[in-house]
Amino acid sequence: MTKAPSPRKKAAPKVPVKAKRTAKAAPPPKKKPAPRKKAVPKPKSKPVLDIVMAASECAPIAKVGGLADVVYGLSGALQSQGHNVEIILPKYDCLRTDHIDDLRMEMEELWVPWYEGAIHCSVLAGSVHGRDCLFIEPHSDENFFFRGAFYGFDDEPYRWAFFSKAVLEFLLQSGRRPDVLHVHDWQTALVPVLLYEVYAHNGLDKLRVCLTIHNFKHQGTEDAGILHATGLGRPEYYFDPQRMGDINPAFINFLKGGIVYANFTATVSPNHAWEVRHTDQSFGLGQVLHIHQDRFGGILNGLDYDMWNPAADPLIHCPYDSRDVDGKYGNKKALRQRFLLQESYRPIVAFVGRLDAQKGLPLIRHALYHSLAHGAQFVLLGSSPDPAIQKEFEQLKWQFNDNEDCHMELAFDEEAAHLIYAGADMMVVPSVFEPCGLTQMIALRYGTVPIVRAVGGLADTVFDWDYSDIPQDDRNGYTFHNADLPGIESALNRAIALWNHHPRAFRWMIENGMKQDLSWSGPAGHYVDVYQYIRHK
Ligand code: ADP
């Protein structure tokens, strides 16, 4: 078996990817008298980068989960740091076009090679809250993106292989030559493979690729047919386990190919970067990460502070901030009215998220029972593409239909999500694994105390009120370790008891969370460091 040559020639030096973000910036050092110095020349201004993002989601126009928030938030932060960013997405029929301004034709004729022929695509351009977006619309019988949903089809690998190829073909044919192409998750992980095996020889030789993995569970596997469709061919070459060969020898693995070929691969928190290399959380990709460890790291996600801002959120009832948390109680009242909960002196515990096994479904269910049994109210907002899970939660909803202390909304509803973040007192996130997790970060920003299992990015962002070893002023929630009932019960009991018996301490914890810097400004800077580093390789 031949050994796959690395697509990069030189050994990569360590990239300065920051370690864990602490709850707050360290206090400034005490002032010393300044020594007399020569005038320091001004640092040269940093070069402006041309960055293209390619992804399957972008908030709010195509959102299923956190990936959408990251593409939206990171692009905005990079732009505000002076870089040029374009986002390439599929032109889904279910895009929320009410958030797209100035939609227009950018390229009428983009022919993307596919099997022995080519598929005709058009490319539209538009602006999404100040972000330049491009939408690739294929016109073929497959109707890749005209299906009324973002995901969930039998030919997913073909949809995304086609999109990945179309992205590169568009860059080539439109004459765009960005410095960096930033791709996300398995759906666009074939981009670096196609780039280094095909497009680098056709004119995109200067382009560098950063891959961010938001979820290792979904890797994209397919048989040799995909190599034929994309024109990569040579199954014996790509099925090599050093390249894209999956654990199942009948398949190639898109995400693995992305890791092997990308110039840098990031996952979405430092703790998860450790977990995927040293535990079973990489779902079989630990060894390939180990081989390519010198260009792999963790960068914690940020939050878009314009989209998630309780002081100026048009989707909530009363604006508030960390200096005036009282506005939260107006939102609590509005939340109760909307969800027909009784008005009484008790905390509201909430869950917002995809109803997926990853999110710890038995613990979510148990949190509901336990909260109600301990004098709290419970609100759940979530949905699942899996009919069995959806049905199970519909039965649960039916069971609590007449309960004035419980409400379940089994849908995707952005507006309801904002109101819950603003109106609830506590947010449970009992995930089995959680690469970063945005719900706990949004909850912190909205003064809703997170109760989380200490895994992945949850452990990087939530610091236990009672047991953390950091200063009390930085502690912001509750953590538990074991994915079992006593674990979540003990954390919930501690939170509910503090809310009931020590409201001032509870408020102190709320304010700690709200003061925490969860913005994109730091993480976007780390990504820029990565872009600069790979540009010079
Ligand atoms: P994941 O990416 O695994 O879905 P994250 O915590 O990283 O989880 O991000 C979830 C994002 O999706 C958050 O912005 C959350 O508010 C949002 N979200 C999840 N489910 C729903 C829903 N049913 N309605 C509205 N927003 C939702």
CA–centroid distance, residue 50 to ligand 1 (Å): 29
| pLDDT at residue 7 tops 70 | no
**In the chain, which segments carry CATH 3.40.50.2000?**
50-302+523-535, 327-515
CA–centroid distance, residue 175 to ligand 1 (Å): 36
CA–centroid distance, residue 176 to ligand 1 (Å): 33
CA–centroid distance, residue 467 to ligand 1 (Å): 28
Instruction: Measure the CA–CA gap between 24 and 125, rounded to whole angstroms.
Output: 39
**pLDDT number for residue 45:** 61
Instruction: Measure the CA–CA gap between 101 and 105, rounded to whole angstroms.
Output: 13
Question: Could you tell me if the CB of 297 is within 6 A of ligand 1?
Answer: no
Residue nearest to atom 18 of ligand 1 (CA): 353
Q: In this predicted model, which residue has the larger pLDDT, 521 or 31?
A: 521
Question: Could you tell me if the CB of 265 is within 6 A of ligand 1?
Answer: no
DSSP notation for 331-369: HHHHHHHHTT----S--EEEEEEE-SGGG-HHHHHHHHH
Q: In this predicted model, which residue has the larger pLDDT, 293 or 22?
A: 293
| pLDDT at residue 311 tops 90 | yes
Instruction: Measure the CA–CA gap between 460 and 516, rounded to whole angstroms.
Output: 12
Sign of CA dihedral 400, 368, 438, 389: negative
| pLDDT at residue 441 tops 50 | yes
136 dihedral zone (left: phi>0; alpha: psi -120 to 50; beta): beta
Residue whose token pair is 């390789």: 537
Question: Could you tell me if the CB of 417 is within 6 A of ligand 1?
Answer: yes
Q: What are 330-339's pLDDT values in tens digits?
A: 999 999 999 9
Q: Residue 135: which residues within 8 A CB-CB, separation 6 or more?
A: 88, 89, 90, 91, 95, 123, 124, 125, 126
**pLDDT number for residue 537:** 75
Q: Which listed CATH number (3.40.50.2300, 2.30.30.40, 3.30.1300.10, 3.40.50.2000) goes with 327-515?
A: 3.40.50.2000
Nearest to residue 214, comparing CAs of 87, 90, 300, 94? 300
Instruction: Measure the CA–CA gap between 518 and 318, rounded to whole angstroms.
Output: 22
Q: Indicate the pTM of the whole model.
A: 0.90
* Average pLDDT of every residue of the chain: 93
Q: What are 452-465's pLDDT values in tens digits?
A: 999 999 999 999 99
CA–centroid distance, residue 354 to ligand 1 (Å): 6
Residue nearest to atom 24 of ligand 1 (CA): 412
The domain made up of 50-302+523-535 has a fold known as Rossmann fold (3.40.50)
What is the atom index within ligand 1 of the atom nearest the CA of 414? Answer: 25
What is the atom index within ligand 1 of the atom nearest the CA of 59? Answer: 14
In the three-class reduction of DSSP (H, G, I as helix; E, B as strand; rest coil), residue 106 is classed as: strand
Pocket probe for ligand 1: among 352, 428, 445, the residue whose CB has the most ligand atoms within 8 Å is 352
E strands along 31-116, which residues? Answer: 50-54, 84-90, 101-114
What is the atom index within ligand 1 of the atom nearest the CA of 358? Answer: 3
Per residue in 161-193, is it b (16+ CB within 10 Å) or e — as a string? Answer: bbbbbbbbbbbbeeebebbbbbbbbbbbbbbbb
What is the atom index within ligand 1 of the atom nearest the CA of 70? Answer: 7
Residue 262 in tokens: 């990308």
Residue nearest to atom 27 of ligand 1 (CA): 353
| pLDDT at residue 398 tops 80 | yes
CA–centroid distance, residue 306 to ligand 1 (Å): 17
Question: Could you tell me if the CB of 384 is within 6 A of ligand 1?
Answer: no
What is the atom index within ligand 1 of the atom nearest the CA of 438? Answer: 6
DSSP lists the bridge partners of residue 127 as 101, 132
